[in-house]
Structure 1
Amino acid sequence: MTNTENKPSSVFPIPSANVMSKLPTQFFATLVQNVNREIASGHDVINLGQGNPDTPTPPHIVQSLQQSAENPLYHKYSPFRGYAFLKEAVAQRYKEDYNVDLDPETEVAILFGGKTGLVQLPQVLLNPGDVCLVPDPGYPDYWSGVALAQARMSFMPLLKSNAFLPDYGAIPADDRQKAKLMFLNYPNNPTSATAPLSFYEDTVEFAIQNQIVVASDFAYGAIGYDGRRPVSFLQAPGAKEVGIEFYTLSKTYNMAGWRVGFALGNAEIISKINLLQDHIYVSLFGGIQAAAAEALTGPQDCVTSLVARYESRRDAFYEALSAIGWQACKPEGSFFGWLPVPEGYTSSGLAELLLREAKVAVAPGIGFGSHGEGYVRIGLLSDEQRLREAAERIGKLHLFK
């Protein structure tokens, strides 16, 4: 047997493009590794650190895929920009849920999951050195797209004192003038805050004044609590003239592994996204597109039940947190909670302690940006019994007075 120990994998150096060194660290990959290490050691870990839905896709959607998979039409390449019936389905859903009119042909792009669009958008709009306004804390994959475009980020702090909304007046004048793109995300990951229509109206005005494209990440658009449906950016007058919204089936229909998302809104921006995708993909498998259309146009009671389940979990978990002295505001939307760390701890230090001593995984706020320091993010993605158990385990560490 040939000894390959310490033998180089290539006979000459394999170069990397310079942009590869600019990519941010994959924060969630490290989080998963730490959790898996504890599980491999035989520990019972309650994982509240990730955003992966824990219940299955509704049966009628699965059945639609099973039936569609037998259709020979879908065994061929799909149309480059997807089937018209899927674009029509998401346009219908937006009309019914938000009273937003979308032209399926020109104002809808089908994506391989919402994340794909978030990373693609800076590449079609930004040149090296251009400025993108990014929320802090925010979803780390915004950073990835900006890095691949070799552009520069200007961070917008999301502070509790401003309801975790950006203060446009606080953006440095130079960055405001140079910015070409801005990401927003409500219901927000990680803070769980929601945005009122008045905020989006102000956003449209700000975008027009400064000629900035708005990208609204509406991944949690179906998940609002206490009887309030989250507001879509596209509901604001003039929104389609200045930007687009990203929507995904991952959270609304528990279809995270199916990778179905959409970019919706400004026709010129949609055209640019489609053009880039023409060079990368030949659209989604047709059977998945048919099942996605069934999700959007079929019975919506599964969505109502899902939101009710998350709300019940929220109430149970926050009651248990209050019992151990961990006081925090209940989430308004999304399936996340944003919890302040106790005095004397950093977000990473607390996350490490909880995993090591309580076998409860949470996501440190610093992983979402510098203004995430002082918080940890939890996911309401375990049943009520496990959420209560997580709080009880944490309570035994006596971290709260």
Structure 2
Amino acid sequence: MQFQSMRAQQVKSSPSMAVSMLAKQMAAAGEPVINLSLGEPDFSTPAHIIEAAYQAMLAGHHLYTAPNGYPELRQAIVNKFKRDNHLDYSLDEICIGNGAKQILFNAFLATLESGDEVITPAPYWVSYTDMALLNGGIPKVLACGAEQDFKLLPAQLDAAITPKTRWVMLNSPSNPSGMIYSKVELVALGEVLEKHPNVLILSDEIYEHIILSDKPFTSFVEACPQLKDRTLVVNGVSKAYAMTGFRLGYAAGPKALIAAMNKMQSQTTTCPSSVSQMAAIAALNGSQDFIAESTKEYRAHGQMVIQVLGQIEGLTLQMPEGAFYAFPKCEGFIGKKTPKGSVIKNDTDLAHYLLQEGKVATIPGAAFGIEPYIRLSFATSQQQLHQALNLLRTALAALI
């Protein structure tokens, strides 16, 4: 008996989660694996946020909420967009989900018809294309290599849009490349999109606060306010406040789209976690000192990782401007052999070798729609990074 629908058969499990789970299994079996595969901050959630969650449970905030969450949290999100991005939204232009991932899924579920195109610049976050497929869409992947700083170009976008285009995906700072679109670059993309009034824009800004360079972050709607009425800005508390397990994402967008997404949520997960919502209120309304302190650490980690990787012949890379990933091109190792005689045919083989023999978990570029690259998260301790880089350097040096 066939249990999977054709739609389910089209998609794969999250590559980053799959590698992370394998790394954890190896570690549980006693193998000394260092996991650099997941984008998960290696910090404890700030104490005042944990305390808010605890007090919320004591106060009885452990029941269902409305699908669009507590109004107090939506107000905190409205205030955040005003404070950080100079954007004005109303409460009915805000939706909340069980992580930014669910926000993205609900957006596609609410809007895509079979055969609609979702323009996705590569490298892209691993789940964009599969989410589109699951909801009947067709990912239209546009290669945006290192020669164009991993960014979508206006002419490239203009040439790709067709009458079937429903969404254009943007991600800044980018996972996996760490590149940030400047305000000028966003304005140029906006000028193209102005010519296509039926195209929706999804701006994934989950790494907004993790800035590693002097280049400022600009929200897409801040750069292109004329496109506010068809742009969904997606964000969340996972990365900025080390709250990945709280599963709390949010978005701002046009009222009709937000209403449709809330309807989808009412028929799937019902509502976001009540306790996580109270914790998110504390995160957004409380002290923002943690962001500055953690970003300082990420910068130091990134500089150290880039310096070490830059000394390895066969890898080429550039310093990320945001997020907490190194994304080196590994072309120099394709075609080499492992000590056991296996040929490294692609970046997936290389990532597999680094995990099995080097005991370092990384994600191959193929998972992000571009090859040959590997992605390493440096959102972990200095000690772990030093160990991981030494293991990686030794494993790569063993290839012949």
Alignment of 1:116-155 (within 5 A): 116-155=102-141
The CA deviation string for residues 108-160 of structure 1, in whole angstroms up to 9 with x for no partner, is 11111100011121221111111111122211221232112212111121211
Which residue of the partner structure matches residue 53 of structure 1? 41
SS for the counterpart of 2:305 is: helix
Asked if structure 1 preserves the Cα contact closer than 8 Å seen for 2:33 and 2:360, the reply is: yes
Query: Corresponding residue for 2:340?
Result: none
Identity in percent? 26
Q: 1:100 aligns with which of 87, 101, 105?
A: 87
Which residue of structure 2 aligns with residue 258 of structure 1? 246
AA at the equivalent of 1:188 = S
Residue of structure 2 equivalent to 1:284: 272
Q: Distance in 2 between matches of 1:229 and 1:393?
A: 34
SS at match of 1:238: helix
- The two structures have a TM-score, normalised by structure 2, of 0.90
**Structure 1 residues 80 and 35: CA distance shift in structure 2, 3 A:** closer
Q: Check the 8 A contact 2:122/2:150 in 1, yes or no.
A: no
Paired with 1:192 and 1:389, the residues of 2 have a C-alpha distance of 23
Query: 2:57–2:275: 8 Å Cα contact kept in structure 1?
Result: yes
Q: Which residue does 1:329 correspond to in 2?
A: 318
Shift of 1:228: 3.8
Shift of 1:388: 2.0
CA distance in 2, matches of 1:139, 1:251: 14
Residue deviations 1:46-85 (CA, integer Å, cap 9, x gap): 111111222111000000111111113x243212321111
Counterpart in the other structure of 1:70: 58
SS in 1 for 2:328: strand
Please show how residues 1-400 of structure 1 align to structure 2 within 5 Å: 13=1, 15-72=3-60, 74-103=61-90, 105-171=91-157, 173=159, 175-210=161-196, 211-236=198-223, 237-325=225-313, 326-345=315-334, 346-369=346-369, 372-396=370-394, 397-398=396-397
| RMSD (Å), alpha carbons | 2.2
Distance in 1 (CA, whole Å) between partners of 2:98 and 2:326 is: 27
What is the rounded CA distance, in whole Å, between the counterparts of 1:390 and 1:320 in structure 2? 11
SS in 1 for 2:310: helix
Q: CA separation of 1:172/1:155 partners in 2, compared to 1, >3 Å: closer, same or farther?
A: farther
The alignment partner of 2:64 has SS state of: coil
Structure index of larger Rg: 1
* 25 and 279 in structure 1: CA distance in 2 versus 1, 3 angstrom threshold: closer
Q: What is the aligned length?
A: 385
Amino acid at match of 2:371: E
Q: Which residue of structure 1 aligns with residue 338 of structure 2?
A: none
User: Is there any run of 5+ residues in structure 2 with no aligned partner, and where?
Assistant: 335-345
| Pair 1:58–1:175, CA change in 2 (3 A) | same
TM-score of the pair, normalised by structure 1: 0.90
User: How far 1:194 sits from its partner (Å)?
Assistant: 0.7
- Paired with 2:297 and 2:159, the residues of 1 have a C-alpha distance of 44
- Deviation, 1:376, is 0.5
Q: Identify which range, 151-160 or 271-280, moves more after superposition.
A: 271-280
Kindly indicate whether the alpha-carbon contact (under 8 Å) linking 2:20 and 2:35 is maintained by their aligned counterparts in 1.
no
CA distance in 1, matches of 2:177, 2:160: 28
